[in-house]
Amino acid sequence: MSSFSSLNNMIGCERKLLLSKHFRKYIKKSDALMFGTIYHESIEFGIAKGIQMLEENGMIEKKPLLIEMLARLESFLITNDINVYLHEQYFEIDIDGTEEKFLGYIDGVARYMGEDWLVEFKSAIVADTTTVHLDAQVTSYLYACSKTSIGTKMSVFDESGKPSTQIFDPVKINPVGVIYIINEKKMNKKVRLLKNGSISTAKNQGCSYADYKQAIIDKYETLDDAPEKVIEHLVWLEDNEPAPKLKVVFTRRSKQTLDNFGKRINGLVHQEFALKKKYYTEGLLVALEHADYFCTKFGCNMCDYKVACVDLEQNKSKLESEDLDGEYFEGLSEENE
Ligand code: SF4
C-alpha cells in the first residue's frame, strides 16, 4: 500500500521513507500538527468533538482559536453557497503488475454552482497559495476520482481476525477541480525575551496580542508594574495585529496532467514495494544502503528523523550489531532537545 506522502518520500528521500516506517510510533506529533488534525475533525464532526480533542491533548488554550477559525470557514462556505456534502473520503487504486495499491483520503466533496468539487482544508500561520496549481497532492485526488470510486473506509475482519479494508457507500464523483481553502491561524510565535530577561518590544517578533499580554503578567504580575515601553508595544499590538484570513484557490488539472501523474505513480509504487521488501526481508541497515536520497539542508533540517539519520550514517559499524529499537531512538531524541 502506498500513500501520497510515502511516494513523496520516494521522490525526495527514500531514507526518510524507511526511517518513518521503522520509527514512526516514537515520534510525538507536534502541537501544530495535532491542531491541524483537530481542525479537520472539527470540520467533519463539529466543534464539540474539536474541544474534546483539545482537552485530551492538553491544548484547551487553543479553544478560542479553533472556534474563530471554524466560524470563519463556515461563514465563507455559507456566503459562497458551497455545500460540503461528503467528508474524509477514502480511495484505493489498483496498480498494474502488483498487488500493491495507491491509497489516500480526500478532505471533502462539495457542490458549488451546480458542479462537484473536491475540497482541501488547510490551516497555516501564513497562507501561501503560490504553488497550489502545481500541488501534486491535489493532482493525486483528481487522479483518484478519474480512476475509481471514493467512500468511507471500513475495516472488516475474516474468521481468523485478519482485517481487510472495504469502502462503504462508494460513490463515483467527476469533480471539475479542487477548492483549496487555507485558514490562517493568528500570529503565534513565542514572545521574544532579551538576554537580560526583559521582554522584547521588537515589532517583527510575530507574537499575538494575547500571548504578549500573558508574558507581561507572567513576568510582572500586573500590567501596571511593567515598563512603559513594554506597555506601549502591547497597545501597538492591539491596534496592528493583522487579522487572520481565509485564502481560497480554485484549481483544475488537464486530462494530460492526470495521465502523466498516473504513469509516475505506477512506477513509484513498484519502486516503493521493492524497497519495503528489502526492509522486511533484510532489515533496516541493508535497506538503507539501497535507499536513494537527494536532500537539501533545508529538507533535512525539517525532517523528523534527522537525528537517527545522521547517527546511523556516522555509526554504521557500531550499529550493525545492535537492535535498533524504540529505546535507541528515544535516546537520540532526548539528546537533540
Ligand atoms: S535527514 Fe535528510 S537524508 Fe536523512 S532521512 Fe531526513 S530528509 Fe532524508
219 in Cβ contact with 199 (< 8 Å): yes
> Which of 19, 297, 305, 314 best tests ligand 1's pocket when mutated (most atoms within 8 Å of CB)?
305
Answer whether 124's CB lies under 8 Å from 139's CB: no
* Residue having the nearest C-alpha atom to atom 4 of ligand 1: 309
Question: Which atom in ligand 1 lies closest to the alpha carbon of residue 13?
Answer: 8
| pLDDT at residue 102, rounded to an integer | 94
Helix, strand or coil, per DSSP, at residue 242: coil
List pLDDT tens digits, range 260-289.
999 999 999 999 999 999 988 988 888 888
Name residue, grid cell 547517527: 311
Alpha-carbon span 233 to 194, nearest angstrom: 15
pLDDT at 337 over 50: no
Ligand 1 neighbour 276 (Cβ under 6 A): no
Quote the percentage of the chain above a pLDDT of 90. Answer: 54
Report pLDDT for 58: 93
Q: Select the more confidently predicted residue: 176 or 30.
A: 176
Q: Strand 101-112 relative to strand 150-157: parallel, antiparallel, unpaired?
A: unpaired
Pocket test for ligand 1, best of 27, 293, 294, 312 (most atoms within 8 A of CB): 293
Question: How many Cα atoms are found within 13 Å in the side-chain-facing hemisphere of 230?
Answer: 22
Q: How far is CA 246 from the centre of its chain?
A: 18
Q: How far is the CA of 9 from the centre of ligand 1 (A)?
A: 10
The ligand 1 atom nearest the CA atom of 300: 2
Domain ranges of the chain: 2-185+246-318, 188-243
Q: Is the CB of 170 under 6 A from ligand 1?
A: no
Q: What is the pLDDT of residue 335?
A: 35
**Ligand 1 nearest atom to the CA of residue 306, by list position:** 1
Q: How many CB atoms lie within 10 A of CB 301?
A: 9
Closest residue to atom 5 of ligand 1, CA basis: 16
Instruction: Name residue 124's beta-bridge partners.
Output: 184
DSSP-derived 3-state class of residue 101: strand
Dihedral through CA 182, CA 187, CA 188, CA 191, nearest 10?
170
Q: Which atom of ligand 1 is nearest to the CA of 304?
A: 6
Cα(86)–Cα(152) distance, integer angstroms: 9
Ligand 1 binding pocket includes 295 (Cβ within 6 Å): yes
Check: pTM over 0.85? Answer yes or no: no
Q: How far, in Å, is the centroid of ligand 1 from the Cα of 141?
A: 27
Verify whether ligand 1 is closer than 6 Å to residue 22 (CB atom).
Answer: no
In CATH terms, the fold of domain 2-185+246-318 is: Lambda Exonuclease; Chain A (3.90.320)
| 207 has pLDDT over 90 | no
303 Cβ closer than 6 Å to some ligand 1 atom: yes
Q: Is the CB of 21 under 6 A from ligand 1?
A: no
Per the CB < 8 A criterion, the answer to whether 307 and 314 are in contact is: no
